[in-house]
Chains A and B, each alone.
Chain A
Amino acid sequence: MTKVLVVTSGKGGVGKTTSTAALGAALAQGGQSVVVVDFDVGLRNLDLVMGAERRVVFDLINVVQGVAKLSQALIRDKRLENLWLLPASQTRDKDALTDEGVGRVIAELRSRFDWIVCDSPAGIERGATLAMRYADEAVIVTNPEVSSVRDSDRIIGMLDSKTVKAERGERVEKHVLITRYDPARAARGEMLNIDDILEILATPLLGIIPESQDVLKASNVGTPVTLNNAESAPARAYIDAARRLMGEQVAMTVPAERKGFMNRLLGRRAA
């Protein structure tokens, strides 16, 4: 059965788009048929992170308004044949999205894909509420930092009240994904640790993505980090998170960079 998954956070810049691309690709690498949908109307970036920015012809708004068919707007990934992108419009604003129109598009996507991964815009306005509106599950992307945790708490409250599932008296299944985590700094008490964040948010953990240069390297070249270097620490963390979404039991670890002996010595000393 199709799952609609919203990747959300409230706060901007915490890694929603990176996580949407990485989880979407990891689910597709796991054999699922996946569409990643950009809800950030006016500030689209999922196309860029996926490396499909030059292939956008029609977008979500065109489909919502009936200007284009869904099949005309969907862009197939060049690396994975079961991964697709539905881009947002760059020229329109969020008011062009309607609840009813989004509902229609999601219903049509449900008949074609195993996973519909919705990349939410930052904030708590229309774009963000519509991105979560039809979700079955939610990934709340959180940095180990006070303003991000506060905004995540707010978004969790909205997932429990403003979604179709919540209005029916059902629950959206929520997961916290901690990104930009630095285990060394957390161990020294300079950064909120995992237990602190989970206790405050009272929401189960999907995965821990370590702070890593590989994330920027991947977005520089327009490739989801799980495809760019599947052996890198963030890629392994995202792949584990995707396996958990698919219902597998995977031990929770913070993947570390695989360094040579000398680097490891130097790294330790620097830390």
Chain B
Amino acid sequence: MSMNLLRLFSGRNASAPVARERLQILLAHERGLLGQSDLLATLREEILAVVSKHVVLDPDKVMVKLERGKTVSTLEVDIEVPNNFDKKAPTEKRMAG
């Protein structure tokens, strides 16, 4: 809506306010993501270490993703484990809690 208002007030050809608004939104988002990249790497490493204590894992099959929403963001952790992972140790049941 504000984009339309800007257009209305600055004449038909004024596309620059739209460019400005799009850039501001985009860069606020991208700067946040870049700032978070270290956090994600740390999370991934530590999650991997904890799970590896109990389950044999392929480190390449651990994915940590942060999705930013308008009001809430979600942290998605996707770990692929082999089918026979529970044969390794009897401790894995504790992980559920």
Instruction: List residues of chain A with CB under 8 Å of any chain B CB.
Output: 145-146, 149-150, 153-154, 157, 186, 188-193, 196, 200
Contacts and interface: CB of A to CB of B under 8 A. Distances in A.
B22 A146 contact: yes
Contact of A196 (B13, B20, B31, B34): B20
A43 to B, nearest CB: 27
B84 to A, nearest CB: 42
Contacts of A189: 10-11, 13-17
Contact of B16 (A150, A153, A154, A190): A190
B16 A200 contact: no
18 contacts: A146-B19, A146-B23, A149-B23, A150-B23, A150-B30, A153-B31, A157-B34, A186-B16, A188-B13, A189-B10, A189-B15, A189-B16, A190-B13, A190-B14, A190-B15, A191-B16, A193-B16, A200-B20
Contacts, number: 42
Nearest to B20: A196
B72 to A, nearest CB: 26
B96 interface: no
What 10 A-B pairs come out closest when comparing CB atoms? A189-B14, A196-B20, A189-B10, A189-B16, A146-B19, A192-B16, A153-B27, A192-B19, A190-B13, A200-B23
Main secondary structure of the interface of A (DSSP, over half): helix
A146 B21 CA distance: 10
B26 interface: yes
A12 to B, nearest CB: 19
A188 B12 CA distance: 10
Contacts of A157: 31, 34
A186 B26 CA distance: 21
Given A190-B16, A193-B16, A200-B24, 6 more contacts: A146-B23, A149-B23, A188-B14, A189-B10, A189-B15, A189-B17
A205 B95 CA distance: 55
A153 B31 CA distance: 9
